[in-house]
Amino acid sequence: MTQHKTTTPKMTTYRPSKPIKTSSLLSRFTASTAALALVVAGLAALFTVLINSKLVNEAMERTVRGYSTSLARQILASDDPEFWRSIAVDHQVALWVQTAEQERAFNAYGEPTTEDAIRGRIHGYVQVDVPASSFQETLEASTDGGSAEENVVFSWNLRHFARLHDPLVYGHLLLLIPVIGATYMFQRSLLRPLQGLREGVESVATGNFGVQVPVVRMDEIGQVATAFNQMTGQVEQMVADRERLLADVSHELRSPLARIKVALELLPPGDPRDDKRETIQNDVREMESLISMLLEREWLRARADRLVTERVDLVAVVRRVVDTFAEADPGVTFSSAEEPLIVPADAELVRLLVQNLVDNAIKFSLADSRPVDVELETTGDTVRLLVSDDGPGIATEDREEIFKPFVKLDPARGHRSGYGLGLNLCWRIVEAHGGSIEMMPKGSLEQPTRGNLAIVELPRNAEP
């Protein structure tokens, strides 16, 4: 009879050549929006600095000289001092007008002043002297125009010219604030569906294949969410079909196994096949154990949806289970912080949980192992069940793998027996009760020693 050796393909983990950035897309959008706001503010500050720079002041000085000639034409064409005052107010310029008949001086607010007050302004001001004779000679104003009978002296405040741009700059900034804010909110709304998709992926990673993420809109993200929902639905159906197949096959195998057992019992003593009887009986018992485990797993899956929750004395349940292993090597010890210890739970499932944990600890004990230690303790609103053994232990990287169905660890560490279902049943029971289960190597995670410690936490004050 030819034996075929089957090998399980090892899953390879993708390892990027460069470190992966862990910042979220939304945080990067937020950072880019903040950077854009800072750039706009920096440009506004740079514009303000340039407006007040020497280069710009020189350019404005050339401009006002030419403009002063135009204003001087209008002023000297009229002999009305009120008109001159209106020119000073409208153009925010201090001026001194000298004609053959009169001379007047006004500041930028239209108030009377003197020629000395106007000519005395130096810092931040441009003095432009426009004699009437220059209208015919040149259009450019000169600061040393001579002593013509008719003359206009302008004193321009360059800071005032610079401030003329302030409303434009601040107005643009005020407009940009709501634009940047609206852009940020729009980006956030675009990325919001990714949050639900990420939570869905994390839920699938924990084994919840029934999760469905909301489809907000049918853009590219919505199409990914729709494909994700279809995928999880198909995977959930495949898992359900597998579970159903295992349960159906287990049920169907019971009948032929029963017939094999009957046939073995009917073999007459002295039969030439007696040397095979014990081997066949061992195989049948092993198959019966596997089938019972599969059926138990299916029963648990159905019962987890409708727990028969009642007030259970956890100490009594654990003690009854421990008593069933009284004759098993290397023995079992039990202690409890208080007695009775009442918790809301399904008594039958809790019994199965403790039985599987203790049986697993005994199964992997060594010839020189110390007794399995079972302990109950309370921490606030939580009850902790601790099952400690002195077996070969598990590798740190296998702490989560052992709770998956049909997972059997490295035989080199002594894990040769079992079907890989017992701890998966424990995980399902604890999850149905809203608790947690963890398998820890003794010692520390960095330096594990021989033996394992199973830690089960169950809520103590939940309503039954």
pLDDT per residue as tens digits for the range 276-326: 777 777 777 777 776 776 666 666 666 666 677 899 999 999 999 999 998
Share of the chain above pLDDT 70, in %: 75
* pLDDT confidence band for 389 (50 / 70 / 90): very high
Ramachandran bin of 128, using left for φ above 0, alpha for ψ from -120 to 50, beta for the remaining angles: beta
Which candidate, 126, 77, 86, 129, places its Cα nearest to that of 108? Answer: 86
The predicted-structure confidence for 56-105, as pLDDT tens digits, reads as follows 667 777 777 888 888 888 888 888 999 999 998 988 888 999 888 888 99
Same domain? 320 vs 445: yes
Which candidate, 164, 34, 27, 151, places its Cα nearest to that of 91? Answer: 164
HSE of 270, CA atoms in CB hemisphere, 13 A: 0
CATH number for the domain that contains residue 396: 3.30.565.10
Peptide bond into 330 cis (omega under 30): yes
> Residue written as tokens 């029934």?
210
Rounded CA gap, 351 and 320, in Å?
Answer: 9
Q: Which one has a higher pLDDT value, 86 or 407? A: 86
Domain that holds residue 261: 220-303
For residue 383, pLDDT beyond 90: yes
Note the pLDDT of residue 275.
67
Note the pLDDT of residue 374.
94
Same domain? 323 vs 257: no
Note the pLDDT of residue 155.
87
**Tally: H helices and E strands in the chain:** 12, 11
User: Given 175, 205, 235, which residue is the final one in a domain?
Assistant: 205
Note the pLDDT of residue 131.
86
Same domain? 94 vs 198: no
* pLDDT confidence band for 52 (50 / 70 / 90): low
Counting the structural domains of the chain, the total is 4
Q: Does pTM surpass 0.85?
A: no
Same domain? 141 vs 265: no
Asked whether the CA dihedral 73, 76, 80, 83 is positive or negative, the reply is positive
The predicted-structure confidence for 340-361, as pLDDT tens digits, reads as follows 899 999 888 898 899 989 998 9
For residue 433, pLDDT beyond 70: yes
Same domain? 422 vs 328: yes
In a domain, 279, yes or no: yes
For residue 3, pLDDT beyond 60: no
273: Cα separation from own chain's centroid: 66
CATH number for the domain that contains residue 226: 1.10.287.130
Q: What mean pLDDT is reported for the chain?
A: 77
The predicted-structure confidence for 177-216, as pLDDT tens digits, reads as follows 888 788 778 877 877 888 888 888 888 887 788 889 888 8
